Structure 1
Amino acid sequence: MTRRIVCMWFPRLATDRVLRARPVLGPFALTERHSNTDRIHCLNVQGEAEGLHRGMSLADARAFCPDLLSAPARPDHDARFLRILGRWATRYCPWVGPEGPDGLVLDVTGSTHLWGGESALLQDMHMRAERAGLTLCVGLAGTRGAAWALAHHAQGIADPGEEQAALAGLPIAALRLEAQTVVRLQRMGLRTIGDLAGTARAPLARRFGQGLLLRLDQAMGQQPEAISPEADAPHYAVRLSFPDPIGLSGDVMVGTERLLAALCEKLKAREAGARVLSLTLRRVDQGSQQVELRLAAAMRDPARILPLFERGVGDVDAGFGIDQMRLEASVVEDLPVQQVGAVRKADPDRLSDLITRIGTRIGLENVQRFLPADSHIPERSFLISPAAFATPGGSWSVMRPRPLSLFPPEPIAATGPRPPARFRWRRMSLSTGRATGPERITPEWWLDDPNWRAGMRDYWIVETREGRRLWLYHTPQNPGWFVQGEFA
């Protein structure tokens, strides 16, 4: 059977993906930042009609086209969209693989007759792509290289065994060569694939290496080139069916234990851990209930995960009985195997389990921790982040102690650069026993913080005779005294 390959090229994949959700009538471009300059990554049809091109700086593009609309490019979203298109393309054949960041390659050998022939197959592809708002260029030939060349430079079909004739008039760049190699060949007067094919091979091999001849032979079918479809993403889900319905919480927990053991084996084989688990319980009346467990850290230990399901399983209404259970890890993270050392360290798993237990009651986002921030301003020296989604790291490095309780500055009646002997704060009359300081902190000039517009502050640690240990500061530019914190 004669091999037939289709190359699908989406020249405006990035902009088509964005404009499908939010259409724009005028010129539109996606930009990427290179060397501290925003450059055009992809354009729509109107943008190309204005004379703009990829790699052009955004400032130059706006000078040529003041009406140009732009947005930052998202290559990760484009790659995910291409994978979706790859799954869609399996309607034409089972062998679909990626072809660069904006193309697909299909091995349609033996399946073209299902669509009424090769021409009808390409026509169906164009019709469906146009209906979806995608720009598509297609080439069909007996080799992967020839199909790529046709899709990018000619669009059409090369009859079996006629690849050389179909490619003879195409430019050298259609052989998937590097830009530098293309320029060097053009300087030698070799501008088309036909010119290259009619040139002696030995001088070309000595000057350009075997890579040039390999690309030529692959396009002509003299060297094989495989198509490797992307492997399906691993699916972490297990199912358990019962011959007779169950309804007791203990029975459901036993079933969950069996499912967890099988699921964790899958996770362990791929060195992954679950962050979100969904337990679906199907009842005999075809209704279902779901118990979702969000973990504070990636886990794959059944003994640790099983007790965390008890609260959710206890709230399940079994109805007339449960005849099927399904457990799925909907969010998975890498969890590589770690070497066990001889020195015993603190077990972080116990803290993760505690955060998970509390999070099932009040929500993981409400269990928070303090993280150090790179700032000498007291209000900016820390961040508050959910404990389940923030890894503790770094440390606070300060020359002077900081109060355990920090609050917005509260003014007190006092004068002079030194702490007052007596003052009132929060309806309490306090007297100074010992004062340590001052510690001068200046504002961060690169940030416009309204709380620091009064200028620098001189901080003092004031121990009162009544037992309070306060953090006071004085503002020399606009004289005044304030209390901002209290030590334990």
Structure 2
Amino acid sequence: MFDGMQRRVVSMWFPRLGSDRVLRARPVEGPFALTLKQNNAERLSCLNALAEGQGLHRGMAYADARAFCPDLITRPADPAQEARFLHALRRWATRYCPWVGLEGADGLVLDITGSAHLWGGEGEMLADMRARMARTGVSVRLGLADTRGAAWALARHGEGVAPPGAALAALGPLPVAALRLEQATSVALQRLGLRTVADLAAAPRAPLARRFGPGLLLRLDQASGAQAEEISPLADPPHFGVRMALPDPIGLADDVMAGTERLLSRLCARLKAHEMGARVLCLTLRRVDQGSQQLELRLASAMRDPHRILPLFRRGVEGIEAGFGIDQLRLEAVQIEPLPMQQLGHGGPPGQDGLDDLVTRIGNRIGLENVLRFLPADSHIPERAFLIAPAAYSAPENGPWVAPRPRPLRLFPPEPIAGSGARPPKHFRWRRMAFAAARATGPERIAPEWWLEDDNWRSGVRDYWQVETLQGRRLWLYYTPQNPGWFVQGEFA
């Protein structure tokens, strides 16, 4: 706050933040509310004006609300999305002043000291806020006063403006709940006959402090300005981007790599300070003719080691068109992930840096989604005992499950062979080749997973055998008792 300047605070309250967010994307006609499960019961968490006009209110049971208003349209609430929406509104509110903080889950607080004259005055600034919110379909109530507590009270209990130096006078007619008190305290004060802020301010302070503690008088002093209350603006998330302007244009790949190395060192130091790692990097090269080229590097795992990342840029840098020269380089971590410090050496996790670098090199040519790995799956069905996942977005091992019996190295769709009886045939033909069984191990009975639909397993159980042939092939055969028949489904190494 500037010396000699009266502090002025604006409180922005969004009484229908959740419903306004949903209705902006998918408008509906009629009463609308969001529901949230609380204590094993569905209750209304946010309503539009039409629903409130039908007598519904927050915290009302969903069953009671439908009885009062059969035409009520509801959707589940999403507190996480509402929080993100409020953060977006906070960023938007920085157009009015740089000091913007969160006020609970549905409000903002702005320290506009020294900023109102840029909008023609306080009245014009508030009018601009209302007009912009109305155009975006978001309900807002505003309060302006010298203190944060007074602005909060005016926004929620009597939308208006308190003249400079008259915060307590503007709050006098408002209920005691406007002082941000707990509901039990507000009810107790009303039972004593202290219904308004003016009544509370006129009452003796010592008895109030003995009965309700210092918190009550603290809230009163904060609202009146006798006790200071800070406004802490929410810090913007760190930006992981660096740039370099060159005094003379460059065009050689080695020069670009040298500049990229310097940018990488700065960027990785910033990532390390925040314990983050980059998954996608974007290198922008601006030419002297104002044209630009971008090189995107997608990494197989989160990294912040400049010595490992730099060689991965070589292939892209060698293919750039420098034109009349490049005079500016900009490197940005487009996608980041948490990368906390790890123990190296004894007891530390095994390193797979070489594999990650290989996946990165191949993935930037054919796409990271096309570099796949097999992962074990918790299923006794041979076809479902593994998963195929992109190597860049999955760990090498996904679960401790191990097959109870050896499984063939090669697995293919079942191929019928001639045979009868419940034991493997002594002689059979498979893929136009004749085989003689030397030894058979089994059976291993596998039942279908009845909770999953699979046409290949509708015939019932299967009895699997490991058959070693005189010809040197080790095959995996199975027999279907319900519909007698023999099939080959795999081959061991």
CA distance in 2, matches of 1:229, 1:298: 31
Contact 2:342–2:348 under 8 Å retained in 1? no
2:466 match:
461
CA distance in 2, matches of 1:55, 1:170: 24
CA distance in 2, matches of 1:56, 1:421: 75
Asked whether 1:167 is paired with 2:171, we answer yes
1:439 match:
444
2:290 match:
286
Gaps of 5+ in 2: none
Q: Which residue identity does 1:262 align to in structure 2? A: R
Call closer, same or farther: CA 1:194–1:370 in 2, change over 3 Å.
farther
- Aligned residue runs from structure 1 range 222-241, under 5 A: 222-241=226-245
> How far off its partner does 1:137 sit?
0.8
Asked whether 1:103 is paired with 2:127, we answer no
1:216 match:
220
Contact 2:283–2:331 under 8 Å retained in 1? yes
Call closer, same or farther: CA 1:110–1:283 in 2, change over 3 Å.
closer
1:159 partner SS: coil
Call closer, same or farther: CA 1:475–1:149 in 2, change over 3 Å.
farther
Contact 2:10–2:148 under 8 Å retained in 1? yes
2:321 partner SS: coil
> How far off its partner does 1:198 sit?
4.1
Call closer, same or farther: CA 1:439–1:254 in 2, change over 3 Å.
same
1:417 match:
422
2:117 match:
113
Asked whether 1:365 is paired with 2:369, we answer yes
CA deviation profile, 1:375-408 (whole Å, cap 9, x unmatched): 3433333332211122344222232122233344
Call closer, same or farther: CA 1:378–1:31 in 2, change over 3 Å.
farther
| Higher mean displacement: 397-406 or 241-250 | 397-406
- Aligned residue runs from structure 1 range 173-252, under 5 A: 173-186=177-190, 190-252=194-256
> How far off its partner does 1:288 sit?
0.8
CA distance in 1, matches of 2:206, 2:379: 65
> How far off its partner does 1:364 sit?
0.9
CA deviation profile, 1:336-381 (whole Å, cap 9, x unmatched): 2223344676422122111111111111111122233343433333
> How far off its partner does 1:297 sit?
1.2
Q: Which residue identity does 2:254 align to in structure 1? A: G
> How far off its partner does 1:206 sit?
3.9
CA distance in 2, matches of 1:38, 1:378: 43
2:392 match:
388
Call closer, same or farther: CA 1:344–1:130 in 2, change over 3 Å.
closer
1:131 partner SS: helix
| Higher mean displacement: 367-376 or 291-300 | 367-376
> How far off its partner does 1:99 sit?
0.9
Call closer, same or farther: CA 1:353–1:164 in 2, change over 3 Å.
same
CA distance in 2, matches of 1:247, 1:275: 27
CA distance in 2, matches of 1:90, 1:155: 22
Asked whether 1:133 is paired with 2:133, we answer no
2:312 match:
308
> How far off its partner does 1:190 sit?
4.5
Call closer, same or farther: CA 1:463–1:196 in 2, change over 3 Å.
farther
Call closer, same or farther: CA 1:239–1:19 in 2, change over 3 Å.
same
Asked whether 1:487 is paired with 2:460, we answer no
| Higher mean displacement: 98-107 or 374-383 | 374-383
2:301 partner SS: strand
1:351 partner SS: helix
Call closer, same or farther: CA 1:170–1:440 in 2, change over 3 Å.
farther
1:336 match:
340
CA distance in 2, matches of 1:180, 1:454: 67
Gaps of 5+ in 1: none
CA distance in 2, matches of 1:192, 1:211: 17
> How far off its partner does 1:255 sit?
1.3
Asked whether 1:321 is paired with 2:329, we answer no
Asked whether 1:41 is paired with 2:45, we answer yes
Q: Which residue identity does 2:471 align to in structure 1? A: E
| Higher mean displacement: 288-297 or 67-76 | 67-76
1:100 partner SS: coil
CA distance in 1, matches of 2:200, 2:432: 93
Call closer, same or farther: CA 1:184–1:452 in 2, change over 3 Å.
farther
| Higher mean displacement: 425-434 or 128-137 | 425-434
2:262 match:
258
CA distance in 2, matches of 1:2, 1:126: 24
Call closer, same or farther: CA 1:36–1:405 in 2, change over 3 Å.
farther
CA distance in 1, matches of 2:478, 2:208: 79
CA deviation profile, 1:135-155 (whole Å, cap 9, x unmatched): 111111111111111111211
Asked whether 1:148 is paired with 2:182, we answer no
CA distance in 2, matches of 1:426, 1:189: 96
What is the RMSD of the two structures over their aligned residues, measured on CA atoms?
2.7
Moved over 6 A (4+): none
CA distance in 1, matches of 2:407, 2:54: 60
| Higher mean displacement: 163-172 or 118-127 | 163-172
Query: Could you tell me the TM-score, scaled by structure 2's length?
Result: 0.90
| Higher mean displacement: 180-189 or 266-275 | 180-189
Call closer, same or farther: CA 1:486–1:95 in 2, change over 3 Å.
same
2:105 partner SS: helix
Q: Which residue identity does 1:24 align to in structure 2? A: V
1:8 match:
12
